[in-house]
Structure 1
Amino acid sequence: MNVLGIETSCDETSVAVITDGKLKANLISSQDFHTDYGGVVPELSSRAHLQIIMPLIKKALDKTGFKLEDMDVIAATAGPGLIGALLVGLNFGKGLAYSLGKTFIPVNHIEGHIFSGFLMEEKPDFPYLCLVVSGGHTLLLLVQSDFEIIKLGTTVDDAAGEAFDKVSKMLGLGYPGGPLIQKNAEIYNGELIDFPVSRCKNKYDFSFSGLKTAVLRFLEKEYGGVGKAPEKDIPMLAASFQKAAVRALVEKTELALGEFNPKSLSLVGGVAANKFLRNKLAETAKRHNKKFVVPALEFCGDNAAMIAYRGMKLYEGGYSFNFDFNAYPGLKENPFFKEYSSAE
């Protein structure tokens, strides 16, 4: 079975081909021009997707030796994401499937990330604990099967990746913030500022707005405002913020490992590329004697390989969709997600 995956939820255009469960191609075109604006500009993102999507599909097919007619299933991201960007890939995928008489499978972007660990040679074992950390989402999930996911916690305000981006701007480092924060933190080896970690009513929920505000107040008090910290102090500030953000993620994850005793731990999403977070969670998994699975860097950010894989699993599971399908509902309405009923 051949599956063509399409991903255009934000600022990466990606196309992938999976054949009989094996990844044959995963091409990603990143829109680097957004750095000039300090963030993703939705209208420009949509236009860039329109320009590159067909050439990228042709390139993926050339790489694999397939033709469009050889595809059995066409899967495309159907949310969440930027509406204009999503519409490009979703409608393009629908059009291809309709014109070719092929099966069309819309894929939830978050589900794509959740199962991205299965693109690796060493895969998670069910049930596994999954920490999803990206620019738009922070979720702690107990994944019991391909079609049963228990949402233990989420962010009550900012996502972790968003906090990295905003603090990076405060420090004058630019966008995207994650790699820049990490780069500066890696060159500092001294004492750190003890920024606070928020506590939430639900013990598995996250909050990063307080941490972001704590950094802002420190900059105002010590340096007179945002962008005024001397260059020599930037690595210390970056390392202090990174340590607090990662501590918040690791503490909740370790708590869930102790309560639910899953077989594996998986870290996914764009922020999963952060070396400090990967190392801390690897140490946590080792302490609890759990297999730790984190995708390769090309599968951490938005990519079509995870969309093709999830589309394949939905198809194999007997799920079917018509061409009227436009967007996935929120997690509360998604049939594969259940709420954790014993939250404190």
Structure 2
Amino acid sequence: MIKKEFLDYIQHKERIFESIKKPRMGWVCTYTPVEIIIAAGFYPYRIIPVEDPSLANSYLDSNFCPYVRSCLGEALEKRPEYADNLIIVNSCDAMRRLYDAWRHYVQGAFIYLLDLPRDDSAKAIKYYQANLQLLIDRLEEKFKIKISEDLLSQAILVCNKTRKLLTELSDLYVKEKISLSAVEFLQIVKGSMIFPQEEYNILLEKFLKDLKKEENILPETSQIKNKSKILITGTVMDDLSMAKVVEDYGGRVVFVDMCTGNRYFSDQSKISEIKQTNSDPLRVLAEYYLRKIPCPRMMNLEKRWEYLLKIIKDYQVKGVIFYNLKFCDTSMFELPLIREKLQKNKIPSLCLEGEFASNNLGRVKTRIQAFLEVLEFAR
């Protein structure tokens, strides 16, 4: 499957949904255990809305997270299938309010709030494992199903394969072995969150196989070596074309530390340990989700900084762009602390805010261009 065909396929999700027989289960946070959703016989669908956040202003304050307001606005406006079944992780205050508003205004058959600890201590892992068991119990009770350890182990393998394939694609992209833009790369990552993963793995594996054919590998002479390498970090990228702006003005996005980017797939759960030690798959999942690359809501700033600094060194990053949605308390709390550490390491940074609206891009173009000019001048 060549690139054009694959990208065209994943951008027409409505045609795919018509052929899917499984019921959909919506999710909104990458700390959601999609393995449990798959094991329960559902098709996990991440809600990445396109609706204007203002549609929900009558239900949530206008100074609330625009991603949360967009999710609610889309559910109220279009009443999609995922509105009936939804798992919300207690990742921030805005998500808790989304849970309240969804139950009251959207309603649905199964709306569940999953509590998530803020660290990866032994107590936190045990607590989260118990919460995952409660989620399974509720699913089994509500839908009259049985989620066995075998089904859960198989689902973990499916999700691990998705992460492995995306990691392989990321390596090819970063090393400029293939002709793939940052926007195209992020579209493929997004596709893995909204398509059934078993089917998507087959398509992505075939796509990668075609990409790695000798005639599709770029020769060394065609690879661009002089562009400033950029790390984008933040929450949710509401407009992927921001990455295009970076590339249009002479930058090269090498890593996207967001839950819609590399942070989604960069770790894998240790499924092999289940068979070797007879481990509980729920324990494996609890450890994976609490110990994966942390987002700003986790109480481990030093771990976040060590991880970001490693990315900067490994990928030879020349500048960091912070891109956070407005009113995101967790990311705004972290921002000045991480930025201070960047300054001490003499790494330039740029701070931008998003509103989950299509008219946001024009206001940041000039700032991105100026930032890249500074990086170019500093060479």
Relative to the length of structure 2, the TM-score reads: 0.27
Relative to the length of structure 1, the TM-score reads: 0.29
Higher helix share: 2
Determine which structure has greater relative contact order: mean sequence separation of CA pairs < 8 Å that are 6+ residues apart, divided by chain length. Answer: 1
Higher strand share: 1
